[in-house]
Structure 1
Amino acid sequence: MKWIKYVEDLNKANPDKKTTLMSVLAKQYDSESLAKMMESAKDVPQWAKLVLQLETEQKWMAKGTPNDYFKQLKLDKVGKDVLRSTQLKTWLNYVKEYNAANPKYQATLIGTLAANYGEVKLVKMLDEAMKVKDTASAAKKLQSELFQRWIQLNWTPEYIFAKVLRLDQDGNKLFRNPLVTTWGKYLIAFNRDNYGKETTIWRMLAATGIDPDDLRPVADKAPEQFFAMMGLTDKGHNLLISPEFAKWIHYLDDFYDELRNSRKTMMTTLRNHYDDKSLVNMITSASKISKTKDIAKSVEFELFKTWHDVSYKTTDEIFTILNLDRAGSSLFTGPWLDTWI
């Protein structure tokens, strides 16, 4: 029984290299000897359950493990188009049956993808898939599962940064690398699940030997680069209700915590991509949703501050921007008149 527990513990510690009791025994004994051993053990009450498990594993071994079948279907060769492959559904159906029959050896898509493509290639594949309408939803779900996998493996943001994504080698070009956006998302996920062990971009960079002063020359461009890499340049009226926008604001606060003298407001970037009327409409939409009300208020404050301190907008210009010139009979009942006054 100690050996069985050892195999189970080994599988927990190495989820990408899981094995079964039967696969280990099959390497040590020929089929005839193994069959005789199992037949004899059936009559012993304490071994009956184990024999049943071994027989189930034996049946599935004949068809191959999920990873074997993944390769048989050549899904390990498809690359970035794996989520669009018609063979993937076949494999997922097989895994569903396999997992039901082998509760101790659960296979997952994210674990199988990582085992066959490696972490870095998988990150890039998911990033690409999130840009395609047909695969965006599935890719986002898999990215969340990937982050949970890293957390379960006790891979810290520092480890992911330096050992997995190799971002420590980018120097002052760090914020031009699209992988830094994925790493930033993981940082947020890690902090959310590790209360008391939270870290920040700058604390992490210091731990990996990067001097924040080396990044000051590119600090002004970083928010814009993050904004584009996160796909926020073409969200339209859905911008403020996008989860990615909330993460981008989080980046700004974290990023400029160290570089206070270089700080720019979120509005600098927003107005590079959206005109004021579009921003007003976004604020209106986000204000109607409870979970984005605070974001809407924050953006509204920044926009008004910009109108006053930067653009020097007149009251007549703001009246038009707020669409009050077209409000008609709803002028006194709409949401913006009080704001304009």
Structure 2
Amino acid sequence: MLEVAARSPSTKRLAESLQAQELKSWTDAGLSVDDVFRRLNLNTGLDDILTNPLFLTFNKYLVDFNTWNPGKSATMVETLARSYGDIPVARMLEAATKVDDTKAMATRLQGQQRDVWKDMGLNVDGVYSHVLLLDSTTGNLFENPTFAVWTKFVDDFSGGQTSSIEALWEILGEKTVVQKLVASRQTRETALFESCRMISS
């Protein structure tokens, strides 16, 4: 109900007042960030979550929670990952960086996601193999949405000193990387040929 009210200009102010009261009651009750995330029904759909008014409400609670609980501070991306998993969240954020309305927030959350992985002690190999599971990718690796996420982590982790191809070389070896590059090129050429054939038929 509050989500609908927050979207309407005529009821937005009332909704914000009610949300503030609700946030205070949750803070007083000592609810965890996961409890509030679920109470706001933010665990029921990931695709449009960044444009959901209740996502901003949750962010306010998260800020308050971290202020009052410095020893148990939480991050937005960790909360999202606990509900949806690392890979779906990574893909959602990458897609959201390509939309004007969500680009800034998604970019900030991607940075937070990389920081979380680094704080966990993960390197480029660990994120590639154990978080994003890119070693089990079937099809064109370079068109996998999470590969773009990994390349950003490589750049961040190395301070721009290592390219994604160099990092991939270290993980997979020269022969496998070359095979994947050739396969990617062949896939693109085949797709182009099929498109031209359909146009001419």
* TM-score, reference length from structure 2: 0.69
Given the alignment, which residue of 134, 148, 153 partners 2:115? 148
Q: Is the 8 A contact 1:147 1:186 kept in 2?
A: yes
* Contact residue 94 and residue 106 of structure 2 kept, 8 A: yes
Distance 1:184 1:71 in 2: 32
CA RMSD in angstroms, aligned pairs only: 2.9
Matches within 5 A, 1:161-180: 161-170=128-137, 173-180=140-147
Moved over 4 A (4+): 219-223
From 43, 48, 59, the counterpart of 1:92: 59
- Residue 218 of structure 1 is matched in structure 2 by 183
**Aligned mate of 2:173, from 201, 206, 209:** 206
Q: Which AA in structure 2 matches 1:212?
A: V
Instruction: Assess if the C-alpha contact under 8 Å between 2:36 and 2:58 holds in 1.
Output: yes
Give, in angstroms, the shift of residue 176 of structure 1: 2.6
Structure 2 counterparts to residues 62-77 of structure 1, below 5 A: 62-77=29-44
Shift of residue 172, structure 1, vs aligned partner: 6.3
1:68 deviates by 0.5
Q: CA deviation at 1:163?
A: 1.9
* Larger gyration radius, structure 1 or structure 2: 1
Residue 187 of structure 1 corresponds to which residue in structure 2? 154
| 2:45 equivalent to 1:78 | yes
Aligned to 1:13: none
Cα distance in 2 for residues equivalent to 1:95 and 1:219: 42
TM superposition shift of 1:74: 0.7
Query: Which position in structure 1 is the counterpart of 2:22?
Result: none
Note if contact 1:158-1:204 (Cα within 8 Å) is conserved in structure 2: yes
Amino acid at match of 2:143: R
Q: Is the 1:157–1:186 contact (alpha carbons within 8 Å) kept by the matching residues of 2?
A: yes
| Pairing of 1:1-341 with structure 2 (within 5 A) | 60=27, 62-170=29-137, 173-192=140-159, 200-206=167-173, 211-218=176-183, 220=185
> Do the aligned partners of residues 176 and 73 (structure 1) sit closer, same or farther apart at CA in structure 2, a change above 3 Å counting?
same
Contact 2:140–2:187 at 8 Å: present in 1 too? Answer: no
Whole-angstrom CA distance in 2 between matches of 1:193 and 1:212:
20
Cα shift at 1:73: 0.3
Question: Equivalent pairs: percent with the same residue?
Answer: 27
Q: Distance in 2 between matches of 1:216 and 1:89?
A: 41
Aligned residues: 161
CA contact (8 A) 1:161 1:183 kept: yes
Structure 2 residue ranges without an equivalent (≥5) = 1-25, 189-201
Measure the CA separation in 2 of the matches of 1:222 and 1:173. 8
| Cα separation, partners in 2 of 1:136 and 1:200, compared to 1, 3 Å | same
**Structure 1 counterpart SS, 2:72:** coil
Inter-CA distance 94–170: structure 2 relative to 1 (3 Å threshold): closer
Amino acid at match of 2:31: G
Distance 1:133 1:103 in 2: 33
The one-letter amino acid of 2:109's match is L
Change (3 A) 1:222 1:88: same
Higher-RCO chain (CA-CA 8 Å, sequence separation at least 6): 2
One-letter amino acid of the counterpart of residue 102, structure 1: N
Conserved in 2, the CA contact under 8 Å of 1:175 and 1:222?
A: no
What TM-score do you get using the length of structure 1 for normalisation? 0.42
Q: Give, in whole Å, the separation in 2 of the partners of 1:214 and 1:170.
A: 14
Conserved? CA contact 1:80–1:128, under 8 Å: no
